[in-house]
Structures are given as C-alpha cells and as structure tokens.
Amino acid sequence: MKPKRHCGHLGNKQRAVINDMFKNGLTEPETLEKYNIRPCRYRKWLENGMFKQEIDARIEAAIHQSKLVMARWLPLAAERLAQLTISEKDETARKACLDVISLHTPETEQKTAQTAQTVQAKEIKPLPPEMASKLLAALVEKDTPAASVSDQP
C-alpha cells in the first residue's frame, strides 16, 4: 500500500487547481477562470512554499515521465529514420540523410554521454553544408544504375 502523500497546508481549492492543471490538462488561465481566482491571489499562492513545492514536484514528475517515454521510443525512431536513408524516393532519402547528419551534433553527443555515463563525449565539428551536399550526391550516384562501374568504358 502506497503511503498517502502529505499535502501540508494546501487548501482544497489549491489542490483542485493543481490537479486540473496537471491531471486534467487545463491551462493556468483556464484553471484560474474555472475556480474564479484572481491572478494576484494565484501569485500569492505561488509565494507559498507548499503550493510552489507541489507544483515543482509535479513538473519534475512530468519531465521524468516524458524522458521515460522518449527513452522507450528513441531506438525505434532511430531505426526507422535510418531505414528511410535508403528509400527509393530520392527526396525522402535525402531528407533522412540530412536528419541523421543534423542529429549527430556535438550537443547531442554530450547529452548522450552525460546520460549514459559510459561513453565519453567526442568533440565533432559540424559538417559544412557543401560537404553534406557532396556526400548526399555521392550516395545518390552510388545507388543509381547509370553510375555503375560496369557501364563505363
């Protein structure tokens, strides 16, 4: 049995406002209007340690939940993006290649290394657009039958 979360000195209205914003998906203005709460009163609530603490805890929980969802789906998304790089449609393959290249940035490398804590971040210089275009053109030429070595004299 889970222990009941202690809400401190939060009033019923404060708890209802927090629940509507986080569980029921209402925005702050919608919630304040629903409960007929003036913005100045809401600001005073935010100065209250317990109210702010509860909101901060809900925000951290939502961030944690979204990270779990992303971690679960990231391998599948990466695999599907990689498959699109060999698409028969040139434009689709080109865009997928650009996405793969753009996702492979120093910032992404650093975040991956920090999260995994097993891979050291490598400093990778961004690929200049001219070089990316040349690489993509070479990939397209490689896949077209006209560019095969057997056809050339």
Helices (H), the chain: 12-22, 28-34, 39-47, 49-84, 90-103, 106-116, 129-143
pLDDT at 49: 82
Considering the chain, what percentage of its residues have pLDDT values greater than 90?
31
Would you call 99 exposed, middle or buried from its count of C-beta atoms within 10 A (0-12, 13-18, 19+)?
middle
Residues 30-71: tens digit of each pLDDT: 999 999 999 999 999 998 889 999 999 999 999 999 999 988
pLDDT at 115: 61
Q: Give the C-alpha separation, 95 to 84, whole Å.
A: 9
pTM across the whole model: 0.51
pLDDT at 108: 64
Per-position pLDDT tens, the chain of length 153: 554 455 567 889 999 999 999 998 889 999 999 999 999 999 999 988 899 999 999 999 999 999 999 888 888 888 888 888 888 888 888 888 888 887 776 676 666 666 654 433 344 556 677 777 777 777 777 666 554 444 554
